[in-house]
Amino acid sequence: MKLKHLTIAMAKDNFRQFEIVFWTIVFPAAMFIFFTTVFSGAFDQETSELNLKIGVVYEETLTGTTKEIFGELFKGLEEDDSNTFNITYFDKSDNYLEELRARNLDVIIFFPEGFNRLNLGFILQNIEVPDIKILHTSRSISTLGRDILNSIMDEVNLRINTFGQDVEMNIQKVSLSSKEGVDFNYLDFIFPSMLIMAIMTVSFFNMPLSIVDYSSQGISKRISITPAKKTDYFFAFLISQFLVLILSIILLYFMSRFYNISKEMYSIKFFGFLLFSILTSLSFGLLFASFFKKISTLSAVTNVMYFLTMFLSGLYFDVSNIPMFLRWYTLINPMTYLVNGMRNILNLKSLEANMIIIPLIWFFVGIIVFSYNLKKVKE
């Protein structure tokens, strides 16, 4: 009974604090929507709305077959439904370079004088055709445009070889980041990240800061003189933290219904691993609370650790090949293994031993250190 009352009181205290509700429940859901909206189409050439602004400059008007080839090419790019290319045509007298510098164009393809010799080049071998120039700047969108245009011109060369016919090829794409036969799905990559982010918010901030705050305000001491047992207090505290986290997870699951995420997220295996992740992370919170008495110091440390962990766990991008002076943290940090474990389950791959062993080691370290310093929590 006392456990129930304590739990309700602590849970109400949590939900009264706007910051806890916002950062634990609302923010991960908002970030999930943001990441999926912005980046889920990144791998799909056909859904890409790049809107690359290409300038086409003819130093002399093209004629014959050359005109037909490139005219059809640019017409096809312009009429592309995915809105990838936006083409503007210039004469040699126009100020196309100014347009490039003013960012009205991302890249320019320049057909020099004498390029019409290509018409002869189709028939005769040793005809010298001036090079097409691709003018670009050092901006990343411009260098991307340059690389795309290089690939397109390469394909034009190929089509000239085949007299315009497509080559019949069977090209099977295999993604090594998921089980063979399963295509890479960015949503399966980011969903575990958002779950871990919500879990980290509780374990790095809510939990240790609450423990130290209750201790410094004398709340723990006041509770200890009530009939409530110390174990009731401890479990009430844990359950109240857990409740906030569960709400966050429920919201993320609800949001995920609007996206095409692997159905494995409803499997017992995934839920089991999720629970394992929560317990491991919460032990982290106990670890932080064990070492720091002052809220200001704890707040600084947990902020540093939170951002380090968030960016060096592979939550948002792959960190497997970063330099060693940073990678050591990736290797010892349990969140790396927890998020990869969830991804493996979603991608129908098996769990690796280190995805369980290393987080388990941290779980026991957290519990043991906390138990050893239990006096700080029981005061």
Q: Which stretch binds other proteins (CB under 8 A): 151-159, 211-219, 349-357, 360-368?
A: 151-159
Nearest of 346, 40, 320, 327 to residue 192 by alpha carbon: 346
Phi, psi of 238 (to 5 degrees): -60, -45
Q: Closest CB to other proteins among 110 and 234?
A: 110
Contact yes or no for 312/333 (Cβ under 8 A): yes
Site string for other proteins, 4-33 (x = CB under 8 A): --------------xx--xx---x---x--
> Please, which of residues 110-149 interact with other proteins by CB under 8 A?
115, 118, 121-122, 125, 129, 131-141, 143-144, 146-149
Binding-residue total with other proteins (CB under 8 A): 91
Sign of the dihedral through C-alpha 145, 151, 153, 156? negative
The verdict on 300 binding other proteins (CB under 8 A) reads: yes
| Structure tokens that stand for 185 in this block | 């799905």
Per CB under 8 A, the list member of 124, 168, 181, 225 interacting with other proteins is: 168
Q: Which is nearer to other proteins, 137 or 373 (CB)?
A: 137
Site for other proteins in 181-200 (CB under 8 A): 184, 186, 189
Per-residue string for binding with other proteins, 46-85, x by CB under 8 A?
Answer: --xxxxx------------------------------x--
Burial class (CB in 10 A: 0-12, 13-18, 19+), 260: exposed
In terms of CB distance, is 227 or 323 closer to other proteins?
A: 323
Choose the binding region for other proteins from 2-10, 242-250, 296-304, 331-339 (rule: CB under 8 A): 296-304
Choice from 167, 225, 268, 353 touching other proteins (CB under 8 A): 167
Distance CA 286, CA 365 (A): 10
Q: Are 365 and 284 in contact (CB under 8 A)?
A: no
SS3 53: strand
Does position 95 bind other proteins by CB under 8 A? Answer: no
Work out how close the CB of 369 gets to other proteins at its nearest, in angstroms, rounded to a whole number. 23
Could you give the 3-state DSSP secondary structure of residue 219?
helix
Q: Which of 88, 175, 216, 373 binds other proteins (CB under 8 A)?
A: 175
**DSSP per position, 283-309:** HHHHHHHHH--SHHHHHHHHHHHHHHH
Q: In Å, how far from its chain's centre is CA 314? A: 8
- Is position 39 an interface residue for other proteins (rule: CB under 8 A)? yes
Of these, 94, 154, 352, 379, which contacts other proteins (CB under 8 A)? 154
User: Does residue 88 belong to the site contacting other proteins (CB under 8 A)?
Assistant: no
The Cα-based distances of 250 to 40, 147, 208, 244 in angstroms read: 22, 43, 23, 10
